[in-house]
Amino acid sequence: MAEILALNKISNIGTDLLDKSEYSLVTELNKPDAIILRSYNMHDMELPESLKCVARAGAGVNNIPIGKCSEKGIVVFNTPGANANAVKELVLAGLLMSSRKIYEGIKWSNTLTSDVAKTVEKGKSNFGGHELAGKTIGIVGLGAIGVLVADICLALGMNVIGHDPMLSVGSAWKISPLVKRAKNIDTLYAESDFITLHIPYMDSTKNIINAGIFGKLKDGVKLLNFSRGELVNNEDLKTGLESKKIAYYITDFPCEALLNVENVITIPHLGASTEEAEDNCAVMAIRQMVDFLEEGSIHNSVNFPNCQMPRTTQTRICVFHKNIPDVIGSVTKIISSKKINIENMLNKSKGDYAYTILDVSEEGLNGIVAQLNSLDAVIKVRVIQ
């Protein structure tokens, strides 16, 4: 029986998909075959030798030691798009709060103690704002969330300009032809009344919003960040707010540096905090994890290539290896030396790592696994029967 360690509470809609005769869901570390989690920080965790995969019920994987997992042949999954609608709706709330002073108005009205109706009529002029229709929003990142944000902004009558140098074919098919594609990010900065970030956090995107870009922005731009707090340099941001270059900053990532800063609204990381999003993420994570454990198939991995092949034999060999020349030749040579026929094979690579699936005709492998593991470029070998 395979052991699945849940490091966070996971929606029953997902965990109920597990066959109880095949899988045991546990909450204490023993010898798990797989880990499923949401926000639990794994960086200081010793990875057990039994671990084959980690499934993040969400999009961000900053809490998972990706490099360490890759070196051990542990597949890390996430669930891109499963919480996209929930985040899109919160972005809409952010747009409205940044344009209409709703948050400030509510705070003020809650301080009133008498003659409320009359006081409201006198004081409401302090909370005037602007309509979204006719304004231009720049969307940085046109993945699952960015595309949905583009659609809702178009429906609100906004002009939408997008930038994504890593735009996937799948996302490109979903983008409305009404979305203007920026030639470069500087063009987006120059034309946008609102800017919303929907890109992953990595070395190349850290502090992408900083004092160095302020001269490229419209005066009074409203900035929304529902991706990762580290995309914005908070000290530079405060300078931009003081100079009025940035009128508002709405973020789903509170931190000490932004507490009680004027014209900053920090939301307590509610982007995916809907019942529907949690259910969708759990279902997607469980299905990916089970398909990998049972078939060796990889969907939505952040560290190994997507790789799926219909099963053609009882015995399947899965090889995790470095993405260097002649590994496939060495692997097939060892298998053929044992007079075992390879019925079907698929090899895919992603960056420095590669993954090969081989369906073979024999059930008895005669020491093949040990020989394959002895190859310098091989990280791990799994046999599924």
pLDDT of residue 60: 83
Q: Same domain for 211 and 243?
A: yes
Q: Same domain for 214 and 202?
A: yes
pLDDT of residue 362: 82
Please give the C-alpha separations between residue 20 and each of 11, 15, 53, in angstroms, as whole numbers: 16, 10, 19
Of the residues 28, 46, 121, 256, only one is catalytic, namely: 256
pLDDT of residue 363: 74
100 is catalytic: no
Q: Same domain for 317 and 290?
A: no
155 touches 137 (CB < 8 A): no
Q: Same domain for 88 and 123?
A: yes
pLDDT of residue 306: 96
pLDDT of residue 292: 98
Q: Same domain for 256 and 338?
A: no
Q: Which of 266, 294, 313 is the last residue of a domain?
A: 266
Question: Which amino acid is residue 128, in one-letter code?
Answer: G
Q: Same domain for 233 and 298?
A: no
197 touches 209 (CB < 8 A): yes
Stated pTM of the model? 0.81
Of the residues 228, 278, 316, 321, only one is catalytic, namely: 228
Domain range for residue 320? Answer: 305-385
pLDDT of residue 173: 83
271 touches 252 (CB < 8 A): yes
Q: Which of 266, 289, 320 is the last residue of a domain?
A: 266
Residue 42: closest CA among 324, 151, 152, 32: 32
Positions in the chain short of pLDDT 70: none
256 is catalytic: yes
Rounded Cα distance between 129 and 114, Å, is 26
β strands within the chain, DSSP E = 2-6, 23-26, 34-37, 53-56, 75-77, 136-140, 159-163, 180-181, 194-197, 221-225, 246-251, 264-266, 315-322, 342-350, 353-360, 378-384
The CATH number linked to 381 is 3.30.70.260
pLDDT of residue 165: 86
Sign of the CA dihedral running 222, 203, 69, 165: positive
pLDDT of residue 272: 87
Q: Same domain for 298 and 311?
A: no
46 is catalytic: no
Q: Same domain for 248 and 282?
A: no
The CATH number linked to 46 is 3.40.50.720
Q: Same domain for 219 and 205?
A: yes
Q: Same domain for 206 and 102?
A: yes
* Mean residue pLDDT across the chain: 95
pLDDT of residue 19: 96
Q: Same domain for 181 and 293?
A: no
How many domains, the chain? 3
Of the residues 181, 269, 287, 311, only one is catalytic, namely: 269
Q: Same domain for 314 and 255?
A: no
pLDDT tens-digit readout, 156-194: 999 999 999 888 777 888 899 999 999 999 999 999 999
